[in-house]
């Protein structure tokens, strides 16, 4: 009979992953604050110029993609470590045209 390999992670790997999760939870809180500021600035820009700031829209879209990756990694939904261990994510969903009724 062949020996069955134990593919479960070791306790050291679990501890490292848990510490990284705590780090990414803190990073997520910073992301949340940056996103809130970006939203407020975008609406001020929209009120003044009656159009959105395109670089800020692209940045907010990429920040949302990064926040999603951070949450998936911290919640054990993905094994790939997010930025700064990999590249900052590109825009995942195309931006929509912000037309108002």
| Close Cβ partners of 80 (under 8 Å, ≥ 6 residues apart) | 69, 73, 86
Residue carrying the six token digits 């009656």: 50
Closest C-alpha among 26, 7, 30, 24 to residue 80: 24
Per-residue tokens: 93:
């969903």
The kind and range of the H/E element at 61 are helix 54-74
pLDDT at 45: 93
Most confidently modeled of 12-21, 34-43, 64-73, 86-95? Answer: 34-43
pLDDT digits (tens, 9 = 90+) for 45-59: 999 998 888 899 889
Alpha carbon 40 to its chain's center: 19
Q: Is the pLDDT reported for residue 9 higher than 50? A: yes
- For residues 62 and 90, the answer to whether their CB atoms sit within 8 Å is yes
């Amino acid at each position: 009979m062949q020996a069955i390999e134990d593919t479960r992670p070791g306790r050291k790997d679990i501890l490292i992953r848990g510490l990284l999760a705590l780090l990414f939870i803190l990073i997520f809180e910073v992301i949340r604050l940056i996103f809130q500021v970006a939203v407020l600035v975008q609406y001020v820009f929209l009120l003044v110029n009656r159009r959105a700031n395109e670089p800020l829209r692209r940045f907010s879209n990429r920040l949302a993609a990064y926040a999603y990756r951070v949450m998936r990694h911290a919640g054990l939904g993905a094994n790939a470590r997010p930025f700064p261990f990999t590249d900052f994510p590109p825009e995942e969903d195309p931006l929509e045209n912000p037309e108002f009724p």
